[in-house]
Structure 1
Amino acid sequence: MAAETPVETKARTTPRQMALALFEDMFDLGTSINEANREIGYQRNNFFTEIVNMGLAARRFLDAAYFIVAQEPEVIDQYDVELNYFKWLMRYDSRNLKHLRTIADEAQNAKIRVTNTPSDRDPAEDDIWVQVQLIGMVAMHRGRIRFDVHHSLIPHIRDPRKSHWLSLRISTAFTRSLARAIYDKVLPSVPTGRTDWIKLDEMRTWPGKMGANASIFKYFKRDWLEPAVREINEISDIELSYETRTESTSSKKVDRIRFLLGRKDTADAVMASLSDASQIYKILKDEFNLSTRQFTEISENRETWNDDRILQAIEYTRFKLNRGQVKKSPSGYLMKALRDNWRMSEAERTMVQVQTKLLTDEAEKEAEKVAAKSTVERSVASRDEETRVRMNEESRQGREHYQAADDKSRKEHVRSWLTSKEGKLVLRRMKLEPAAVTEDVIFNTPDLSWYLGQFVFGRIKSAIPR
């Protein structure tokens, strides 16, 4: 019966599987993660932007570890992966294990601190103060790395609420510690377009140790801030500028900074704005091949085009594709479904369910027919095999009886067989004359000896014990 093929749900490729596949493809070629043609990252909790006093390499080390934690299907006590994979995730190209251990040591020394004590007074007994090591035990042995993370941090890594998309492809491309530190800090503020005012002395603690001249704003601006801003604008998915102010109207000392932010009009910008980024982006890019212009339109309308609306447009477009109602561009149809908020009706869902059931029932009936036919064929083949074995055994017993008989009896058996209907039929089929068929000819011809054995067995079967 004719029926439309229902929409099939494809098995999802997880970010973990995709990252491993990219590593396997790229590592042997010596290609770094920042050159990947697919996005790799995870939803990072805004909580972790409070990390300060950490260098660039240690941040990459922590990113790789947290990516692995975020993608693990279950919470486990220790995480164990191939060292080359871990190094690839953090874009560590060196074979210098001593240096890598130093980076791990710096990451272990870093802590995250939460307190409600205002900065302008000393702590009191009722104040909250919590400090947690960002990564615990780290072990490297025989090409593998093991590590653990404090149990209180796991929920914030695996199931973040207030979060932002962190792209390892972008974050590993930074070469300046301050650029990476600023990028981390401003990501949660991108949707609002600006950060709050930040004390410069506080910002100077973000990347770890800085030179003595960093305390003087003109040198800090020339040697650290401006190069960092340029790098962020060149390699990341955001456009960034800043403005400063003095500590008071009567002072000339610049002591505060505020960053102004915006997403670039690229697919990376959409990637960063999607809460289920890796999966939805993969569908939009690989299945529907959306253009940069179409991605930009989605990015500009994210306030109303949320994940549910995008997924319902994908579902509707797939449904129409399977019914043969999309004649030109699937990507264009998808965008129209997004703009006009098209969705599958309950009646259409019911229709798909009914069609699916009909197809399933029909497939089951066909499978039952095939199984029944196969059973009959096996049964017939089994009976044929039993008959063949039985007849071979009868012929063998007939030949044994023939061989044991005296000359007169053997000649009588041969004469009787050659003049019987069965014998004449065999000789005719083999184009032999009875007069030319002797005992030697019979036993040198397997077919003749087999039929003679059958004939003899038929004559004396009542006398042969079974």
Structure 2
Amino acid sequence: MRPTSGKLTLLSRRVFHMMILFIQQDGDKEIYRRALGEFMKSMEYGSKDISLLVDTINSLQHVTVEWNSDSFDSDNEVWHSEITSNLVSEVSIIRKGRGHEVFVEWSFAPKLREKLLDPHFYTRFSVVYFSLRSSASVALFEIIERYKTNPTKKTNREPWQWWVPRITGSLSENYEYKYFKRDVLRPAIAEINTLVTDYELELLEHRDDGGRKITSIQFAIHPLQQKKLDIDIPPLINGNLVEKLMSFGMSESDARKIFSENEEGDIEKTIELTEKRAQNKSLAPVVSKAGYFKNALLGKYASVQTETTLVNKSAKLAKVRTESTPAEKYAARQRVRSEEHFNLLPEKGRQGFIDNYFAHNNVSAVVTGYKKSGLKSTLFRQAFFEWLAIHLWGEPTVDEIEAFLSELEIA
């Protein structure tokens, strides 16, 4: 299944899968019912913010998914169908009054219910599932579990773009393959391989006929003979991170909402970025840590590497320029592209990139130039747009430089 509207977060995925676990226990029914407390206990929710859990349960009605279904006619010919429906057809939160237990009732569209009850489609849960800390890891784990018994020990091979919404849970994510691999696939595979007990997962990449561009991917499942140690299931909501967000001036409900809608790793990196920016005395003081954190998380400012890594990349790129005219031409083109991208942003977005730059780079001459002349500073513009190009598109590869030279020759 893949979402066609709405987004599945880590919390909403776990709520949905508890629903599936419950319907597998109950069998084929039109309406399913559980106490809200049973959801909380089974999920090890542990939070006092009950409204967040209720809102998450209700939100599943607004996520639509698409899947394929095969059927046979009277002549035994196969008919392929593409079906779209809401993830959950209807949700009711039943409250009898203060002091009484709250119940959740929900239902699925008939064809979706049939598919979810099919043991070949959906596997029962394991301790690994509830130990995974990112929604991408959970989504990939679900897919892989259904292919464990496949004789080839491989998933289907599909264009890499096909995998994006199925693993990220969102249609709005717009990736180049190298960033999808770096930011989503590699961390998810690493987390799964750390936790699973009976196999190791490998990414298989397939290139086009010319052998240069990756066009499709699949995953190989390598069985392991030796079992790993049992795993302690971590809490669903990391209380330490929630407390840290509250120390920035957020309310507990805002902090928990942010935690439920974003990856834990992104939150940790953005907290670190916010604290580092607040401690940078060479820049204007941060008026609101909470406001800065929210903007940085929204803009994914913390997705760049550490300051040391960025400095090393810049030094390496500078060395390449002195030795290679093609690399110098490519870098110049990238600076122009990054400046064009920057100029299209609203003022808030432009300032966000500048803040992000200074959070990772504080060369005194560049800081002085910016304070004195702003964007008119030649030294700042050179350093900033070089950094922005690396931040947006990464360090150039040999293939990218060669492709760029081919474009120049054609032009």
| TM-score bin, normalised by smaller chain | 0.3 to 0.5
TM-score when normalising by structure 2: 0.44
TM-score when normalising by structure 1: 0.40
